[in-house]
Amino acid sequence: MSEFSQGLRDLADFMDNAPSDLFKRKKLTVTIHRWNECEIPKFAHALGTCEKVFNNESVGLRKRFGPVTLKIYWWRESVCKTDEK
């Protein structure tokens, strides 16, 4: 098991055992920032059905796992080439 996966399990255990009023909404977003735009197809394939997300600063993929949302973002300037004169 990876250190990252163990950290997520530890977080889940913490949330399950915390007083119920601490996490009333019980929603969580995990955001991962990446820098290599060549990884986008690999992540898209691994996620399967997912949502594309665009804003002024980044492009990304988003997938919901029940109340947990995974967001993977790349800086837009590293992905989208512009013609600057």
For 39, other C-beta atoms within 10 Å of its C-beta total 13
Q: Is 4 part of a structural domain of the chain?
A: no
Q: Is 20 part of a structural domain of the chain?
A: no
Q: What is the pLDDT of residues 3-32, one digit of tens each?
A: 989 998 998 898 888 887 887 777 889 999
Q: What is the pLDDT of residues 39-85, one digit of tens each?
A: 889 999 999 999 999 888 889 999 999 989 999 999 877 676 655 54
Q: Which domain holds residue 55?
A: 28-85
Q: Is 57 part of a structural domain of the chain?
A: yes
For 13, other C-beta atoms within 10 Å of its C-beta total 10
3-state secondary structure 22-79: CCCCCCEEEEEEECCHHHHHHHHHHHCCCEEEECCCEEEEEEEECCEEEEEEEEHHHH
Q: Is 69 part of a structural domain of the chain?
A: yes
Q: Is 68 part of a structural domain of the chain?
A: yes
